[in-house]
Amino acid sequence: MESSVNDESLPCLLVTANVGSVFEDPSRLLLPWLKEFLTKVTELQPKFLALHMQEVGGKTYEKSMEYVQEFIKNLCAASELNDYNVCRIYLDEDFNTAEHFTALGNVYFSHKSIKSLKIWNFLSHEWEKAEGKNIHTGSIEAIATKEKAKFPQHFFPECKWSRKGFMRTRWELNGTVLDFINIHLFHDASNLAACEEFPSVYCKTRRRALIHTLERFHLDCRNGVAPYFIFGDFNFRLDQQGLVKKLTEHLTTHRIQSVKNDSTKLQFRNSLGDNVLTVGKKEFTHNDHQSTFKEEWMKEYDREMDPLLEILTEYPIKFPPTYPYEEEPELPSSYMSTRCPAWCDRILLSPTIQELIDEERELDYSIIGESICMGDHKPVYLNIQLKSQQAFLDQNPRPSEELQEVVRLYVENNDVNGEIEQRYIEISTNSEPEESITEIYKETTF
């Protein structure tokens, strides 16, 4: 094999973008979004590009499908991508099939300089050589080079069965094996409910779905276990209970009740009677809204990742909260007053994948379009150098320490009546502890 494959690391650009609002206002937002994205690609010159999108088509997908096709057409025809000779696009567009539809889109471009490129077939459980340009749209359930699932309906206790789930692909890039997982987790339906406790009811549901997904990968005997990047709209929110307490020190609380129960608001006023903070079901307004939520102290309340740090890692965040931005082109850096700004969009790593990253080379974790309107979410990117010839693929997954931590978190977040703990004790008396972990997973996972 050529020395360049063995010795050189591979520049990779990973991007996650919730594009729902872009497709709801395509005439004003679509082309500027694409231009800004391609400008970043040109600036960083990756050899492999992975773009994960959520809410492709927006809330009214049946009306926006033509714009999705236009977006893909313009992307593939962009001169900035002329030297990328391999393309794989997976767009989940079958909105008529509620049990499968996720509105996720996984887009990958590979530069012609990559010497060895393969993609995994999740049905035959073997590698295929990746060549040419393949665009999969509409119903993609039968496409074997991706794995996709919608979260089960009982994961939606507070809302209707919406399009949330994951889609993953597996690649071999110059001899290095890794998974790219696109995920979209649940949002906060009510600011008032989110402020009642931490972790909130929404945070607990997100954590359950995420751990459920990671378990699925860690015990995948048919496809084996590979190091992975998981990047998407996690909908991670701040500890709003703690944040509101901090923001309202020395203020008085006033409950504003309208005829409609869902219009209840909390107002926090200073000694002069001026309203400083208002929290309603879909309102979160501070009297210094635009500067307050871009300050460094906010990071103290970004705590939703904390219990997961043994099973997922993340590079330091040095950019402002990624959601919710105004959807007006003339207000590209302003937050809407509907939600407390938060780092919803993330790029996370399995611990094993850090060994594949050449951290002596330049690494950048940031946002795209800080001064351009990109919709209500700012895309987040990770620019890395990937080592070559790191072909780790565990074909016989076992209950590793990492998996045991996943299961422990699963039990912690699901064992309401102590039933799982009791079953663990019963199984443990008849098997080794690691085996019992596997049995507990098989019995309790959804």
Which pLDDT tens digit goes with each residue over 338-356?
Answer: 999 999 999 999 988 988 9
Tell me, yes or no, whether 33 lies in a domain. Answer: yes
Q: At what angle do helices 401-414 and 433-444 cross, to 10 degrees?
A: 50
Handedness of CA 267, 268, 269, 271 (dihedral sign): positive
Residue 252 resides in a domain: no
Spatial CA neighbour of 315 closest among 347, 344, 341: 347
Q: Is 349 inside a domain boundary?
A: yes
CA 286-374-331 angle, to 5 degrees, is 45
Long-range contacts of 293-301 (CB under 8 A, 24+ apart): 293/320, 293/321, 293/335, 293/340, 293/341, 294/320, 294/321, 294/341, 298/238, 298/243, 298/341, 301/238, 301/239, 301/240, 301/242, 301/243, 301/246
Q: Does 220 reside within a domain?
A: yes
State pLDDT tens for residues 280-311. Answer: 999 999 999 999 999 889 999 999 999 888 88
Query: Cα(384)–Cα(427) distance, rounded to whole angstroms?
Result: 44
Average pLDDT for residues 407-424, to the nearest whole number?
58
Determine the pLDDT at residue 138: 87
Domain extent at residue 395? 3-237+303-400
Within a domain: 445 = no
Question: 135: which strand partners?
Answer: 89
Query: pTM for the full model?
Result: 0.89
- CA 255, CA 114: separation in Å to the nearest integer? 61
Q: What digits encode the pLDDT tens for the residues 74-106?
A: 999 999 999 999 999 999 988 877 778 899 999
* Res 278 pLDDT > 50: yes
Q: What is the pLDDT of residues 197-216, one digit of tens each?
A: 999 989 988 988 898 888 88
Average of per-residue pLDDT across 260-278:
87
Query: Is the separation of the CB atoms in 235 and 206 below 8 Å?
Result: yes
Between CA 421 and CA 352 the distance in angstroms is: 29
Structure confidence at residue 445 (pLDDT): 45
Does residue 342 belong to any structural domain of this protein? yes
Domain assignment present for 269 = no
What pLDDT, on the 0 to 100 scale, is given for residue 6? 46
On whether residue 102 sits in a domain, the answer given is yes
The tokens for 156 are 């939606």
Residue keyed to tokens 């700012």: 378
The tens digit of pLDDT for each residue in 130-151 reads 999 999 998 899 999 999 999 8
Total structural domains within the chain: 1
The answer, yes or no, to whether the previous bond of 397 is cis (omega within 30 of 0) is no
Residue 35, domain CATH: 3.60.10.10
